[in-house]
Amino acid sequence: MSTILHSALQRLVARTPIQMSVRFWERKKYIRRYGYESPLHPPDILGSGDVKPIDIMKGVPNWLRGFQGNEFQMLLRKRPIVYHWRKSRPTDFHNLNKRIRFLYKVLNHRTRSK
């Protein structure tokens, strides 16, 4: 093995050359034969479609599972669930109610309606 260095990158000459990327027409041929597969969108990540992402979610509270909405809506859903905090964690429950009141004012009085 020769240790002669021939470039600014200091690569050894004796090593195998760097693999070039696949030519465009070979890539098109591959796509035609096997279909396009992206690492971001694997074809069968969820199987036949019977299983929904909501069913897979673990470690998420039931009241938050599959929820889509803003913070105010989320806190309104949370309040009946944690109502027992009223006696066990009064400060946390008070802060939750304060946040709900604040967001109510912001959303209903300080923003323009469409």
- List b or e across 62-74, with b for residues whose CB sees 16 or more CB atoms inside 10 angstroms: eeeeeeeeeebee
pTM for this prediction: 0.53
Domain boundaries, the chain: 24-109
Q: Which residue has the higher pLDDT, 54 or 105?
A: 105
| Distance from C-alpha of 61 to C-alpha of 71, rounded to nearest angstrom | 15
- The confidence score (pLDDT) of residue 56 equals 78
- The confidence score (pLDDT) of residue 51 equals 72
Tell me the per-residue pLDDT of 36-74, one tens digit each, with 9 for 90 and over: 655 555 555 546 667 777 777 888 888 888 889 999 999
Kindly state the average pLDDT of the residues 17-30.
64
Q: Are 50 and 42 in contact (CB under 8 A)?
A: no
